[in-house]
Structure 1
Amino acid sequence: MKSKFYALLLIAVLVLTACGAKSQSRDFPNLTPSGTMESPSFENDFASGEKSYDGMSPNVSGESGLPPANVVRLVIRNAELSIVVDDPAKVMSTINQMAERMGGYVVSSNLWKSVNYSGIEVPEASISIRVPANLLNQAIDEIKNLTNDRQKDVLSENVSGQDVTKEYTDLNSRLANLEEAEAQLRSIMEEAKKTEDVLNVFNQLTYYREQIEVIKGQIKYYEESAALSAINVSIKAHEAVNPISVAGWKPSVTVSKALQALVNSMQVIVDAVIWIVISVIPVLIIIFLPLYLIFLAIRAAVRRSNKKRLAKKQADTVQPTNPKE
């Protein structure tokens, strides 16, 4: 009877020892997000729990998780125009109304006055608008139609496009991975028992949430930039561009020619000085410096010879006198 009791007691001790060892072997994972920022890590173990979390490190590698069929091509198209009109203020107001009619909006608008060659103040304006990308060409045509002559009064036109498909796809892949990692951390947080473990998981969640919001902002910027094209328009008055003409004489043209002649003359003078400093002066130094040194040496020798001759002549003219006894 006693032997059976001791056997049962020994089996119970072995079972309890095995359970204790199993409980101590449950470690909390060290979760370190991949990225440029360093996030907090876990250094403590769970004191209790029902699941093992080994190997559950969140996957935020940034690899593309979107199938090729779901890739959306994004191209940001913008335009810049410079036009000449009769009334810049009126044209600026018309462009403002056009943007609102197309479903866009005005980013900025400026109206000021400048002085032309005759001292007369003429108005100038600039306006930046955003219109739907599919209406960009229509908007450009309407702006050109505001001029008197599309061939002469459109000073410049530039339409540019930027393909951001790769950046957009990468951001969506990173967003999907970060959101998956956040979901894993939330499930791990539900299993955490110790206060310190809960705080560590909360720090991890805060880090991932911050990264998610940053990437969402970048994605929103690309989507809005691709959906709405920007148009920057510089508006000038004819008086500020066309030269003044008095009975066939154009003073502004004469002034321009005189200024150009002055620039050409100064260019010739500066070029001559540069050639003299860089090419002529070094050659003159190489040629005349040895000659000048020889001249100095000869002059010094002649002066020494003259001094000796003068001293000898003075010595010959002085006769010694003997005193009378």
Structure 2
Amino acid sequence: MKLKWFFPVFILLLSIAACSSNSEGSDKSSSGGKGPEQTESETLNKKDIAFSEQEERVEKAEDTDGKKSGDTSPESSGRKVIYNADLQLKVNNYTEVQGKLEKKAISYGGYIVQSQTSTFEEEQLSGTMVFRIPQKNFQSFLHDAEGTAEEIAHRNVSGQDVTEEFVDLESRLRSKKAVEARLLSFMDEAEKTEDLLKISADLAAVQEEIEQLAGRKNFLQNQTDYSTVTVSLEETNILVPNVDQASDLNTWQKVKKQLAVNINFLLALVSGIIVLIAGNLPILILIGMVLLTIWIFLRKKKRMNHLPPQEKKY
């Protein structure tokens, strides 16, 4: 009975051993024919494939996160909105209102970007000022600016929602930084010069994109943190001088000024005549000689016409 079960078990063990030896031999034959260079190239290709797949996975994950998050900022739940305001105000005293607005802007943590003043008909003042005000104080500054005016000629407030662009920039920045880290790890593992050059070129391109994305993000952040307010002021009152104060008339000074102007005009006229005569003296002498000759000839001819016929010489 024992011999009856021994032969089938022995044959089964032999078949299992034969199958395992064949599989090991096939693996060795498939890998044994390749040299070290081919193995290294395959390793680099596998790294490139893994790198591409990881980049795609990161970008897809970031896009999915951005879509799920909708229009909310990753840093806060508020929206990213760029506010701009344009006010045209009519005021009684331009200088006083200008000083008040400048002080208000500084007290709110803002600053002046541009200030321009001009005079209309030598009496009325007008000008334009551009302020950058923190967004949290935007409405308060508008209310204060309108409170200084006698009349609001024009008011325009606009906002641009850049939340979606801001979120997209942050997602792309995280994706590119992950790619940058992966390229740096590849550079540490690379052994050939050509591989290092290729990875360096890819790394430079990725870092340039990171700088561009970071610059755009910083610009949007600044635009949303500070609102732009343009205030145009126009003075309505006309300043009338007091005529009862003799000291303000400056009569004697005006007389001396007018006298000096007339003397300068006469001196300039005389100087011009002298320069004209002296500079054109040769031409004047030539013209004088020609005129003198013509005059002498005409005078002689006239005298001959008045002589008796017998005294005329033909």
* Band of TM-score, shorter chain: 0.5 to 0.7
What does residue 74 of structure 1 align with? 80
Cα distance in structure 2, aligned partners of 1:16 and 1:172: 45
* 1:123 and 2:87 matched: no
Shift of 1:221: 1.4
1:176 aligns with 2:174: yes
Q: Which has the higher helix share?
A: 2
- Structure 2 partner of 1:63: 63
Q: Is the 8 A contact 1:64 1:173 kept in 2?
A: no
Q: So what's the TM-score if we normalise by structure 2?
A: 0.57
Residue of structure 2 aligned with 1:220, choices 218, 221, 237: 218
- The reply to whether residue 94 of structure 1 matches residue 92 of structure 2 is no
Contact 2:73 2:166 in 1 (8 A): no
Check 1:109–1:192 CA distance in 2 against 1; reply closer, same or farther (3 A cut): same
Whether the aligned pair in 2 keeps the contact of 1:144 and 1:154 (CA below 8 Å) is: yes
Q: Give the one of 35, 40, 46 matched to 1:20.
A: 35
* Aligned residue pair count: 201
The CA RMSD measured in Å over matched residues stands at: 2.8
Given the two structures, how large is their TM-score scaled by the length of structure 1?
0.56
Cα distance change of structure 1 residues 187 and 129 upon mapping to structure 2, 3 Å threshold: same
Q: How does 1:82-161 map to 2 (within 5 A)?
A: 82-115=88-121, 120-147=122-149, 149=150, 153-161=151-159
Code of the aligned partner of 1:83: L
Distance in structure 2 (CA, Å) of the matches to 1:155 and 1:18: 88
What secondary structure is seen at the aligned counterpart in 1 of 2:49? coil
SS at match of 1:143: helix
Q: Which secondary structure does the structure 2 equivalent of 1:186 belong to?
A: helix
**Separation in 2, partners of 1:95, 1:230:** 14
Question: Using the alignment, how far apart are the partners of 1:215 and 1:125 within structure 2?
Answer: 38
Change in Cα spacing, 1:64 to 1:130, as seen in structure 2 (3 Å) is farther
Quick one: which amino acid aligns to residue 126 of structure 1? T
Structure 2 CA distance for aligned equivalents of residues 156 and 52 of structure 1 = 63
Partner residue in 2 for 1:315: none
Code of the aligned partner of 1:177: S
Contact 2:85 2:157 in 1 (8 A): yes
Aligned to 2:21: none
Identity percentage of aligned residues: 28
Unaligned ranges ≥5, structure 2: 1-27, 239-314
Q: What whole-Å deviation, never above 9, does each CA across 1:200-256 have from its counterpart, x for those lacking one?
A: 21111111111111111111111111111111000001058xxxxxxxxxxxxxxxx
Q: Which sections of structure 1, spanning at least 5 residues, go unmatched?
A: 1-12, 30-50, 241-325
Kindly report which structure 2 residues correspond to 1:165-244, keeping only aligned pairs within 5 A, or say none.
Answer: 165-239=163-237
CA contact (8 A) 1:64 1:170 kept: no
Distance 1:14 1:142 in 2: 86
